[in-house]
Chain A
Amino acid sequence: MKTGIKQSILAASISLLFTAPGLMAGDTIKLGVAGPHSGDLASYGIPTIKAAELVVKEVNAKGGINGKQVELLIEDDVCKPEIATNTATKLVSDGVDVVLGHICSGATKAALPIYKNSGIVVVSPSATNPGLTQSGDYPNFYRTIASDDAQARTEVDFALDVLGLKKIAVIHDKGDYGKGLAEFAKTFLENSSKGEVVMYEGVTPGAVDYSAVVQKIKRSGADGVIFGGYHPEASKIITQMRKKRIKIPFISDDGVKDDTFIKVAGKYAEGVYASGPQDNSKNPLSSAANAAHKAAYNADPGAFYENAYAAALALLNAIDNAGTTDYEAIRKALRDNKTNTPVGNINFDSKGDAVGVGFSMYQVTNGKYVEVK
């Protein structure tokens, strides 16, 4: 372990040696933005680009940071680990100073060692895998979203304490995010004396019909469902459950707390619970960020927009406070200084999680997600 640290410090210092001339010569601060910008998960990555563009435009209009303009380097990783390493090396080759991204946990895990070796701080708006911060493997990683275990905790507590459910069917979409979350939910339920897991299964994403698994939920005698995954599968399952006249509560996650879910599931979405980042609508910065998006693109912002906005602000603010783009200085600034962002006045703990960013439960009421108090 000790040699590992020594190695990484050595590696970092060597790479700093190499990148230093670039820093001197460059009169801009290069902010990399990486995530899926094409392919089937593009809708999760594109809002982050828009957030970064808006933040940078504002910062540059005010004269930039430390007298330098901020420049965006946007690269696509299609959420695939093997592409993400290419993306990361490309950003590093292009002399990026800090990175906003990546979006998917798998791609982030693949890309982080490359940034780490080059002494680049990464702030993700959406990678929620607990290991990213808790394992200690990635000292250069920070995020403006709470991790999956915190989210599963919120869901399970809500199901047991608020709804008073006893028998819970835990379903997931076999994906990195969904299955990870479901695993945590299952463990929390098993360790709790208040309820039990009566069914634990994964569904195949993209399948044409889920009625078999829905019938199985009915037979299991569950009085509630916790689903880990994204909204397309969630809306198919809830639609088929309601069509088969199963009326038990459906609790899901941030991947479902998306307006597309309500649009797609329509009337069947009513009453569905989902955990999501705490409600920021009273935060003036949040409304300002949303208004800026509306003004610039004439559309409502998409997934993780506020988190991305917050991450961009936090990064640039840290560079401002540090007065340099030096790796250690930025890390210190991220920990020590609070930044006022759409997701609250935040700084980061020593592991890299944002302090004061948590989850709340929402319920679909009259076609809108409303926070459950």
Chain B
Amino acid sequence: MISLKESKRSALVSLWFMFLTFPIMVIKVDAIEKTIIWRWENMFYVGFGSFILSIFGRIFFERQKNRREKQLSEKIQQHNLIQILLREPKYLYPLAAAFFLFALTFPHLFSTYQINVMTTALMYVVLGLGLNIVVGVAGLLDLGYVAFYAVGAYSYALLNFHFGMTFWMVLPLGALLAALFGVLLGFPVLRLRGDYLAIVTLAFGEIIRLVMENWNAFSQGPSGISNIPRPGLLGFDLTLNQAITYLYYLMIVMVLITIFVVNRLQNSRLGRAWIALREDEIACQAMGIDKTKTKLTAFALGATWAGLVGVIFAAKTTFINPASFTFLESAIILAIVVLGGMGSILGVILGAIILILLPEYLRALSDYRMLAFGAIMVSMMVFRPQGLISNVRRHYQYRPQKGEQE
């Protein structure tokens, strides 16, 4: 299967990596004590590991190439399993029902810790779906999405702290405030395109965080706000376990609502305007679509979900401070959208579950946790550049539209 030439190449690759990692992996110095530790064994591990990986990589790409050629020559549209499952109602409905049943019984099957982690993952599902409106559907690269999340979280924390407002009162308010901030950000960036837009949104996210960090009188600064109450349930007192389970179900409902709304939005007039905007701004304007309004609604509607989840986040952790809203958080949410497959709802859900649960379950690797996380992110992109589920999206968007727009 692997020719001699191939393995020779892999050997060269492993030699290169041994050279590359030499100073950092092999030498460890102590400038104060003036000692050097030579860790030659690491060089061996690197060489061996990169040799194996290189061979696997070669096999993978070889196969992919073969498959593509085969597809081209035989002109067979190949569908993977997921697609078939999604397209056929006779598979889809039972599958969805089974999944839903599993989600409902989840808290009774697993420990509080698992429920808590799953709630976090569900929160990111909603965040991902919200950002998907901006990035995936409308094609506006937003690197400061976490700002709206912060707006939601702080509106609950502050409104509760000062005026004693309850979770259910703030939930719509937080969403509204976030939407307002979305419009606020939207106005100055109307003229910007692509990566200039990205950096301005990044700057916006950072500015929000920095203001929270420095303006003590308003936000209590870096020490944050503690003792934020968990959401109440008709005046019952909930124990911790009950509260966590309650939040879990709340998030399930939120996810369902989000999926429903986002799905409807994508198929609406507005949704098609977003897609048109993403594909070609000028053509879109020529067709008579109000660019300003379309862009602003994308920002506002995207931000709304972040605001909602922000309120829930504050209620879940019961403590917030600006450190939770760094750029890295925006990057993770963006990664969820891209990794899952831009524009695809199912893709975003899978992306969120993978990226959020992965670090938790990688706890077993302890120190190597984040190393593995980074490596998995890179390799997932390399092996599936279009995201986990993207063919579905294309299929799903274009065909019905062509028929309807006639």
Contact = CB atoms under 8 A, between A and B. Distances in A.
Contact between A and B in the complex (any CB pair below 8 Å): yes
Interface in B83-108: none
Interface string A220-232: 0000000000000
Given A39-B370, A76-B366, A179-B222, A89 B321 contact: no
A89 B214 contact: no
Contact of A86 (B318, B360, B370): B360
Cβ-closest 3 pairs across A and B: A117-B240, A110-B319, A90-B113
Given A38-B366, A39-B370, A202-B214, A118 B240 contact: yes
7 contacts: A15-B241, A38-B367, A86-B116, A93-B112, A176-B222, A179-B223, A180-B223
B306 to A, nearest CB: 15
A80 B113 CA distance: 17
Interface in B296-352: 313, 316-321, 323-324
Contacts of A202: 214
B226 interface: yes
A7 B236 CA distance: 11
B112 A110 contact: no
B316 A86 contact: no
Contacts of A89: 112-113, 116, 244
Contacts of A213: none
B172 interface: no
Contacts of B221: 179
Contact of B317 (A7, A81, A263): A81
B223 A81 contact: no
A180 B117 CA distance: 31
Contacts of A93: 111-114
A188 to B, nearest CB: 17
Interface string A123-134: 000000101000
Interface of B: 32, 111-114, 116-117, 120, 213-214, 216, 221-224, 226-227, 237, 239-241, 244, 313, 316-321, 323-324, 360, 363, 366-367, 369-370
Contact of B213 (A10, A80, A90, A174): A174
Contact of A10 (B237, B319, B320, B367): B237
A106 B225 CA distance: 9
Contacts of A15: 239-241
Contacts of A76: 363, 366
Nearest to A201: B214
A195 interface: no
Contact of A92 (B112, B223, B370): B112
Interface string A115-156: 001100000000001010000010000000000000000000
Contacts of A7: 237
Contact of B320 (A81, A113, A175): A81
A250 to B, nearest CB: 21
Contacts of A180: 222-223
In which size bucket is the chain A interface? 35 or more
A98 B245 CA distance: 24
Nearest to A18: B241
A183 B114 CA distance: 39
A288 interface: no
Interface in A179-219: 179-180, 183, 202
A174 B241 CA distance: 35
Given A90-B113, A118-B240, 4 more contacts: A11-B239, A92-B240, A110-B226, A110-B319
B226 A137 contact: yes
Given A89-B244, A176-B321, A105 B223 contact: yes
Contacts of B214: 174, 202
A38 B116 CA distance: 21
Given A86-B120, A113-B318, A179-B222, A81 B324 contact: yes
B103 to A, nearest CB: 19
A114 to B, nearest CB: 6
Given A76-B363, A85-B116, A175 B222 contact: yes
A109 interface: yes
B227 to A, nearest CB: 6
A82 interface: yes
Nearest to B371: A38
A79 to B, nearest CB: 8
A94 B244 CA distance: 16
A118 B32 CA distance: 47
